[in-house]
Amino acid sequence: MKPQSYAPRVDHISRLKIGHAPHFLMCPPRYFGVRYRINPWMDPEAWSKGEGSLKAEAEQQWTSLHEVLTSRGADVTFLRCKPDLPDLVFTANAAVILDGVALLSRFRHSERQAEQPIVAAAFRRLVEQQYLAAVFELPPNVTLEGAGDCIWDRHRRLFWVGCGPRSTRDAGSVIAACFGVEAVSPELADARFYHLDTALCALPTGELIYYPEAFTEAGLREIEVRVEPSGRLALTHEEATQFAANAVYLDGCVLMSRCGERLRRELEVRGIEVIETPLDAFWRSGGSACCLTLRLDHSSYGAERVSCAAVPYATASA
């Protein structure tokens, strides 16, 4: 199938069911566990030794995150969990979404590739339910692991597209063509920070939380030329390894698993509230708050059109 373009009209997008409340996709952690090793955080043997208590802890922590989101006014749609897919809980990796259009992921590791048809079917239902206008697949030979490696920066109206450990560099050009916005591809250099969302969080207020040592020199320059020094909130090694960058912004507050006093002061002085919701059970797979959520209602706010050069999977009728 040849790549095709898709340009939804403004009135098409306005008919979607996305309302004013922030809207997230989450997957209950019923089958979550560390079953294999595809990043340095994962230790299946250690998980198996404490599986009973760790599984209960993960379910409690996920429930707390969900409760915080809904208590702050967010809507949550659920992706049905599946046996033998322990990382399906990390919905951020499912797709990239902007203006009602979703671009489905393609995973590098075989352990996660079985998630792809499950996610594709679920997103087809989201189109049918009018939560999305269209769903597209990546062109062949392009790897992109969803919003885990593709972060929407509302303030700058661009996507930060991580490349290196998981996603391929050519994913950036696909994102730019698909959504009609700039895509910047800072290269990651540390296997512990295998997805961009483990090392960078773009706040809609303009600040960028990031861990400089996670990037190559060239990747760091991509950030520094676009974000003024006053807007860069550089993390320490301790903060980064507690997944402080893997945060969720929600109406004036930042949700993260753990926030040290230094970072808390930096955020609060800028008028940003910090809410801690412990998620260390998920650190064992290399994930935290951002990984466990996928924002369905990201908007480019006034973009004239969204054109997609990726391969169509399903589209809503005009």
Quick check: is 291 catalytic? yes
Q: Map residue 213 onto helix, strand or coil.
A: helix
Question: Cα(57)–Cα(49) distance, rounded to whole angstroms?
Answer: 14
Q: Are 315 and 134 in contact (CB under 8 A)?
A: yes
In b/e form, how buried is each residue of 80-93, taking b as 16+ CB within 10 angstroms?
ebeeebbbbbbbbb
Q: How far apart are CA 175 and CA 123, in angstroms?
A: 18
183 neighbors 172 (Cβ within 8 angstroms): yes
- How is residue 259 written in tokens? 């926030």
DSSP assigned state of 49: H
Identify the active-site residue in 150, 290, 291, 308. Answer: 291
Q: Kind and range of the H or E element at 153?
A: strand 150-153
Q: Would you call 100 helix, strand, or coil by DSSP?
A: coil
Rounded to whole angstroms, how far apart are CA atoms 244 and 200? 9
Q: Which of 155, 112, 164, 142 is nearest to 291 (CA)?
A: 112
Q: Choose the catalytic residue: 195, 259, 290, 308.
A: 195
What is the C-alpha separation between 115 and 111, in angstroms, rounded?
9
3-state secondary structure of 1: coil
Catalytic center residues: 195, 291
